[in-house]
Amino acid sequence: MLDRLGLRLRFALFFAALAGGGATFLGVGLWLGWSRAGGAPDGFVIAGLVGGFGLTGLTAWIALLFDENVARPILALAAELHTRAQSNVTADIDAAPARYLGALAPAAQAIHAELEAARASQARAFAERTARMARDKALLETLLRDLTQAVLVLSEDRHILLYNEAAVALLGPIGLNRPVGSFLQLAPVEQALARHNAAPDGRAEPFLTVGGSGDRLLTGAVSAVRSDAVLVGHVVMFHDVTEALRTHADLEALLRETLEEARRPAMAMGALLDVLDLGSGPGADSARFAAALREEVDRLSAHLGTIAARQAGMAAAQWPIRDVGAAEIATALAPRHPGLVNRTGEARLRCDGFAMTALLDRILDTLERDPARRDLALSAEPRGAEICLVLGWSGPAIPQGQLEEALRAPLSEAYGPYTGRDALDVHRSDLWAEPGPRIVLPLPAAGADPDEAQPHRPDFYDFDLPAQSRPGLDRPLTELAYVVFDTETTGLDPQRDEVVQIAGVRLLGARLLRGETFDQLVAPGRPIPAAATAIHGITDAMVDGAPGFAAVAEAFRGFAEDTVLVAHNAPFDMAFLHRVGGFAHPALCTARLSNALHAHTGAHTLDDLAARFGVEIDAALRHTALGDALATAELFRRMLPLLAARGVTTLGAALDLQGPLD
């Protein structure tokens, strides 16, 4: 039974026994003295009371000093060592509270230093052993990132184990361990899987489906992945055919419209010409017929011009126009034109890189026919929203007619009958010669670099995800998916105040997915008090036009599907979610868990925990919903080994340890 008592309670019982025993012996001694001396007992009683109270008080005082300077520092040192043993905390142990424990604090610090050295050695050995794995991972990432076709790998229960950037572009904010049925219509994929499993040759089975929002038509193929005849998942590859089908439909409509619109003017012109051919109409009638004929010709010409513009737009949709570095075009030209100097720098264009390379190759061939033209160089000059590719040289200029002749020639065998002029029309650009001499080709500048827009590239695969994805009380904590979230509000009363920002980040076990975040300002429907703005920095102007909390909570519910919610002081944040309803997720509170893990201290604020676990919180992100959510996620990750050391390894055990959140 005594083994279950805490250290401080055992010390307290020891001093209580010491005080009780001392008082008892004092009383017995006085009684024996009175019994031998005889006489009135009053003096002995008074002496016993004074001595007993004095002894008890002295013992209590010594016990308090012992608790303050010995028991609590010992517990603090034990907690510090335990935290460092189970979690990767590199900060030195604070020896100040244990200054009266002699060599114990330096010994604890030495143990910590040795532990860090051992971990560093282990990390180096692990890094050496996994170098090949890291190389293979980099190859896989590059392959999937640059693959234009969207790829998903699904678990047996249709949760995402792998995805690439093309899949994100088509399906939206997908993420690891999220159900794929939330992002596309799964029934056609399931039917294709059934056909695939029934087929004897095991070939990939095609399917046609739509995205979850119903605005994209997707076609692709699905196949099963087996290891030693055991099904481990499915590979889904698909691409968007929405624009292709829409363009096909538009071309059909364009053809019908052209026939219908051209038929009437043609018939009218034929009739008018028949009348004019008769030669019987007076002069006034002939002039009227000629005017009517001119009107029909103009109408037909205008319609054909409209048709030509629409056809050019539809043709442009079929060309592979994307962001291309001007230096990449220069590099592609270099083998055929070794004297070309590359001065393009870091400029990036939005164009069909192969078509522009073929076009410039044709122009360079034309220029090099005259050996007097030397020192050819390709440069890139920004002009507003465009980048001008400029071919310059020394020597005679090129006649515009010779330039036009080069533009009328086919680009290459890969582009069939399309000419350089066709490529320029598709890009809605032109090419001309200027004094200098030089040739100028303006093209649209590329958009923002996606890697700059996303400072944390999402983790896009995890083949170790468990087969079961929904949280259950018997599920290990290390196999669960979590959404760690935080809210910023107009005040501290969940019943009267409103949310102005909510943010969350996903965890898979102890793996923080920094690229999968949710961050949304919320219109509270009331003015934000100045005292609240002073804390989180959110003003009325910032939330002007933001959606209400009901709509934001619905989006957050989708983000948090099949996860455990985690928050610091979770009862406060969960109260706002419960107000809108629909959140039956289990929830963990890092403040409650910290109180259970470190009961010797009353310091359980977010900043206290950050200092204890060695988590640095960027001052600029503190008291922002996303910044606090990221800090809480880091803390929760480091709590998981401490919970496991306490025997708390399942969700049910963690919920029991923290107690009810109501």
539 and 597 fall within a common domain:
yes
- Mean pLDDT throughout 562-589? 93
The token pair that represents 297 in the structure block? 């010709």
Segment 227-257, tens digit of pLDDT = 777 777 889 988 887 766 566 556 656 666 6
- Mean pLDDT throughout 446-465? 54
Geometric angle at alpha carbon 432, from 431 and 433, rounded to 5°:
145
Q: Domain count for the chain, please give it.
A: 5
Rounded to whole angstroms, how far apart are CA atoms 333 and 355? 12
The answer, as to whether pTM is greater than 0.75, is no
Q: Which residue has the tokens 């055991």?
A: 230
434 and 382 fall within a common domain:
yes
Q: Flag whether 463 is in a domain.
A: no
Domain harbouring 510, CATH code: 3.30.420.10
Residue ending a domain, choose from 126, 147, 169: 126
Q: How many other C-beta atoms can be found within 10 angstroms of the C-beta atom of residue 542? A: 14
Sheet architecture: strand order including 386-394:
341-343, 374-383, 386-394, 438-444, 432-434
Q: Flag whether 161 is in a domain.
A: yes
Q: Flag whether 450 is in a domain.
A: no
Q: Give, for 549, the enclosing helix (H) or strand (E).
A: helix 549-559
Rounded to whole angstroms, how far apart are CA atoms 463 and 156? 12
519 and 533 fall within a common domain:
yes
513 and 560 fall within a common domain:
yes
Q: Which class for 609: exposed (0-12), middle (13-18), buried (19 or more C-beta within 10 A)?
A: buried
Residue ending a domain, choose from 269, 296, 318: 318
489 and 572 fall within a common domain:
yes
Q: Flag whether 471 is in a domain.
A: no
Q: Flag whether 194 is in a domain.
A: yes
Segment 107-156, tens digit of pLDDT = 666 676 677 777 777 767 777 776 766 676 667 667 766 677 888 988 88
489 and 439 fall within a common domain:
no
84 and 159 fall within a common domain:
no
580 and 488 fall within a common domain:
yes
Q: Flag whether 622 is in a domain.
A: yes
Q: Flag whether 469 is in a domain.
A: no
347 near 380, Cβ under 8 Å? yes
486 and 614 fall within a common domain:
yes
Residue ending a domain, choose from 188, 212, 240: 240
Q: Flag whether 470 is in a domain.
A: no
**pLDDT of amino acid 439:** 94
Segment 64-76, tens digit of pLDDT = 777 777 767 777 7
Each as own residue / partner, the long-range contacts of residues 264-270 (CB below 8 Å, 24 or more positions apart, any chain) are 265/296, 265/297, 265/299, 265/300, 265/303, 266/300, 268/292, 268/296, 269/293, 269/296, 269/297, 269/300
- Mean pLDDT throughout 309-325? 63
* SS3 category, 60: helix
The DSSP 8-state label assigned to residue 242 in this structure reads H
CA atoms within 13 A on the CB side of 272: 19
579 and 539 fall within a common domain:
yes
- 297 is in which domain, residue-wise? 244-318
514 pLDDT band, cuts 50/70/90, is confident
Segment 353-400, tens digit of pLDDT = 888 888 999 999 999 999 999 999 999 999 888 999 999 999 999 988
Does residue 37 register a pLDDT over 50?
Answer: yes
The token pair that represents 134 in the structure block? 């890291």
338 and 400 fall within a common domain:
yes
**pLDDT of amino acid 453:** 37
**pLDDT of amino acid 449:** 43
**pLDDT of amino acid 379:** 94
509 and 604 fall within a common domain:
yes
